[in-house]
Structure 1
Amino acid sequence: MEFAQAFSPGHVTGLFSIHESDNPLASGSLGAGFCLSEGMTSSVEFHHGSEDLFILNSETSLELPVSRNVVKHFFRRVGQKRKSFFTIRHSTRLPVGCGFGTSGAGALSLSLALNALYGNPLSFLEAATLAHVVEVELKTGLGTVIGETFGGFEIREAPGAPGVGRLANFSYDKDLNAVFLVYGPLSTSTVLKSPSIKDRINLAGATLRQELQNDPSVEKFLRLSQEFTYQSGLLPNRLLGVVEALARSEITASMLMFGDGLFTLVPSARLEQTLSAFRLFRGAGNVFSCLIDPEGGHVTDVH
């Protein structure tokens, strides 16, 4: 085999609480979110250069620490010595760094592709766990990978890597659409360095997650995600005004965690109306929609 490719859905978190541990396998978050039909496709193939070549959306990049560490962790985990270098390509149509789980999706899809290229020395869950560990160690994610591993809507009931943490999926209509208004990235490091903000996040996240567990549904998830947006104190004033204006059009919108933008969920019959409402506030931002991914990360090609 000379080439392998895998896909991981993007992921949106509606509410969460942070659970850190000295053991990356046990670190993670509790909360709830959903996977997107859009995501990250990663391919890996051998090449004869003197170092690995990383390409993101057709642009060569030297600054992809998550991908570099996935490769390093893979060979350490399987106990093999590297005999060649790779060309690794990542492609996504999602905005990077804006709360769509693209870092986790890149880690998961690359780990699955590397594993397939070498004849699957790791199980599916072991390859997914490797991606989670890289995300935790680099502080680029906590609960994204476990959600992206299984797809659909999930409630994360116990923190940790896939196979260590625990989640429960809940049902949704197949014509459900996620609609987004995105202005750009939002720095998480500054936000999460504040003990008072972390305390508010954890209190709100734990309370609202328990409420969702008692009666899981898409409608309740959306309402509680908006409540989390308010209670956590994370919502910038600009987004607050948009949320309130959309509410007057009977659209329940919540903040992307973490991105400078909003999301909602609507059936296909209301999609165009909702897109039009979001476009009223677009400015220099981006408005788009996609479906829900039911499958999670998976290998798409090996040859």
Structure 2
Amino acid sequence: MVRTAVAFSPGHISGYFRKVAGTTPETTGSLGAGLVIDEGVRAEASAAGTSAVVVRCLGAHGEVISESAGSAPLEYVMHELGVTARVETACRLPIGAGFGLSAAALLSSITALNALFDLGMDRPAIAALAHRAEVVHNTGLGDVAACQGGGLVCRQTPGTTGTITRVPLDETVWALSFGPLPTPEVLGSAERLAQVAAACPDTCPTDLHDFFRLSRSFAEKSGLVRPEVRAALAACDAAGVPASMTMLGLGVFATGEGADEVLAAFGDPIPLRVAREGFRLLEVRP
């Protein structure tokens, strides 16, 4: 029987952000605020003669909706760790839709690989490698830092070892995705990043209501809102429901009474609880 390590990392909805370009991947990242969510990525790693990555998207009942092979960031971390393994990741949220799943896949996979091969990495080392892989591949800037723990997160300095404040919340938000908004399209555009930076609030939210207020202001000023997102936001406004755009994703997230009913007019909203903890090892099977 093949020894297998299993780990999980929550995802993250970013409400607003500003890129900080450092001289190294470790000093590059973003400032901003977001919600760590209880849905994320589960990773299973087992030793293999040749490295392979399988990415599965699951339905509400655990059925496989789609499956693809390969992941440049995950292959990069296996090369950096000097291990060969088969890594299988699974998630129930849409990929590329602003749920921080690339960071969650890296954190859960590295955690599983660390346990599988007894590498002795601590949590800061796991997060540092995941963050470096994100920056190198232009797949994210602040999600790894956020997913080290739970709650409403404000990143006041870039990277995984900087100043991060967390407010524990026992809240549900509703999210609706209209499809992917490829992160490299924004992170790779100097003009777009300049507009985003100018829109970013220079403060941390005090509570969930304040987070939605700041996030919505950012979305409006950032130039990132697309027509389908605009229609859903307008409906939320009309109903008095706090809402904003998922960053970076073509979607909307909202909270409060009636949020699910308003978003249901545009698709199938997903209920998400604010997570209480960050990435973690689940089990090692002999």
Distance 1:192 1:249, change over 3 A: same
Q: Distance in 2 between matches of 1:116 and 1:194?
A: 38
User: 2:87 maps to which residue?
Assistant: 88
- Show the 5 A alignment for 1:193-212: 193-205=188-200, 208-210=201-203, 212=204
User: 2:181 maps to which residue?
Assistant: 186
What's the TM-score once normalised by structure 2's chain length?
0.91
Q: Distance in 2 between matches of 1:234 and 1:189?
A: 14
Larger Rg: 1
Distance 1:193 1:109, change over 3 A: closer
Q: Distance in 2 between matches of 1:102 and 1:68?
A: 16
Counterpart residue type for residue 281 of structure 1:
F
Q: Distance in 1 between matches of 2:118 and 2:73?
A: 22
User: 2:148 maps to which residue?
Assistant: 149
- Of residues 257, 264, 279, the one that matches 1:279 is 264
Quick check: 1:167 aligned with 2:164?
A: yes
Percent of residue pairs bearing the same amino acid type: 30
Deviation digits for residues 44-78 of structure 1 (CA, Å, limit 9, x no counterpart): 1124xx42232222666433111111211222xxx
**Any conservation in 1 of the 2:138–2:183 contact (CA below 8 Å)?**
no
Q: Distance in 2 between matches of 1:225 and 1:277?
A: 19
Q: Distance in 1 between matches of 2:210 and 2:263?
A: 21
Counterpart residue type for residue 295 of structure 1:
E
Counterpart residue type for residue 43 of structure 2:
S
Secondary structure of residue in 1 paired with 2:69: coil
User: 1:70 maps to which residue?
Assistant: 77
Secondary structure of residue in 1 paired with 2:40: strand
Secondary structure of residue in 1 paired with 2:39: strand
Counterpart residue type for residue 8 of structure 1:
S
Q: Distance in 2 between matches of 1:121 and 1:93?
A: 30
Deviation digits for residues 182-227 of structure 1 (CA, Å, limit 9, x no counterpart): 110013333344433322211221xx242x35xx111100111011
Counterpart residue type for residue 9 of structure 1:
P
Q: Distance in 2 between matches of 1:279 and 1:60?
A: 27
**Any conservation in 1 of the 2:96–2:183 contact (CA below 8 Å)?**
no
**Any conservation in 2 of the 1:152–1:296 contact (CA below 8 Å)?**
no
**Any conservation in 2 of the 1:254–1:262 contact (CA below 8 Å)?**
yes
**Any conservation in 1 of the 2:175–2:271 contact (CA below 8 Å)?**
yes
Structure 1 residue 120: deviation in Å?
Answer: 4.3
Q: Distance in 2 between matches of 1:151 and 1:70?
A: 24
Deviation digits for residues 101-123 of structure 1 (CA, Å, limit 9, x no counterpart): 11110001111111111224211
- Show the 5 A alignment for 1:33-72: 33-47=34-48, 50-57=49-56, 61-72=68-79
**Any conservation in 2 of the 1:150–1:296 contact (CA below 8 Å)?**
yes
Q: Which ranges of structure 2 fall in alignment gaps of 5 or more residues?
A: 57-63
**Any conservation in 1 of the 2:151–2:275 contact (CA below 8 Å)?**
yes
Q: Distance in 2 between matches of 1:191 and 1:136?
A: 13
Counterpart residue type for residue 41 of structure 1:
R
Q: Distance in 1 between matches of 2:247 and 2:188?
A: 15
Q: CA RMSD in A?
A: 1.8
Structure 1 residue 3: deviation in Å?
Answer: 1.6
Q: Distance in 1 between matches of 2:262 and 2:68?
A: 37
Deviation digits for residues 4-39 of structure 1 (CA, Å, limit 9, x no counterpart): 111000110001101012211111000000111110
